[in-house]
Amino acid sequence: MKQKTIAILDYGMGNIHSAQNAVSFLGHHSEITDDSEKIAGSDILILPGVGAFGQGMEELKKRNLVEPILNFIDTGKPFIGICLGMQLLFETSKEHGEFEGLGVIKGHVKAFEDVIDLKVPHMGWNSIKIKKQSLIFDGILDESYFYFVHSFYAEPEDKNVIGAETEYGIDFCSIAIKDNVTAMQFHPEKSQKAGLKLLDNCLRA
């Protein structure tokens, strides 16, 4: 069976190489790229990232990557967003201002500090509660733990998009699933066995 071609989007934000290392550890080949032709020709596209929403969108626009991302998603091929890569899929964010996102998922990115009294950022291990059936959860137990580092959270308008929730002062969407798009707020590549299993399921879906 032909191996899938996996593109990891390079847009100048952090965590790209650790995502690639996890993909390689799972036995898949990937390429870090910002080339629109390679993006279009890949079987799977991963949008990782660590950093601020506004800067992330600025980098995507500066590198002319918005249209290739949206075109790829429109093909129906698997798309995976990780951490900032999840948040950028939403319509807007209020991180250090107000910024427009990719608008793939209706909803908005909000600040924890506006709604909870707990320490921000939300950092460390926390569990997920699975909310909908999906092949990505094959072999993943409900209440499995994953590694989070974030001060903002995404709130989908359509609750049917929520694949899993996590509690941190409030219940927030930690996995969003919409058609061929799977996005997770935590870092699967830093989440040991459960995280690698989840990522592998996404890559094999």
pLDDT band at 3 (very low <50, low <70, confident <90, very high): confident
CATH of domain 6-98+105-204: 3.40.50.880
Residue ranges covered by each domain of the chain: 6-98+105-204
Question: pTM of the full predicted structure?
Answer: 0.96
Per residue in 14-59, pLDDT (tens digit) is 789 999 999 999 999 999 999 999 999 999 999 999 999 999 999 9
pLDDT for residue 97: 87
d(CA 189, CA 192): 7
pLDDT for residue 1: 55
pLDDT over 70 at 171, yes or no? yes
202 catalytically annotated: no
Q: Strand 6-9 to strand 44-47: parallel, antiparallel, or no bridges (unpaired)?
A: parallel
Catalytic one of 95, 122, 189, 202: 189
Nearest to 152 by CA among 120, 107, 117, 105: 120
Q: What is the largest CA-CA distance in the chain?
A: 51
Per residue in 144-156, pLDDT (tens digit) is 999 999 999 999 9
pLDDT above 70 covers a percentage of the chain that reads 99
Catalytic one of 83, 95, 122, 150: 83
100 catalytically annotated: no
189 catalytically annotated: yes
Catalytic one of 28, 108, 187, 202: 187
Contact 146, 191 (CB under 8 A): yes
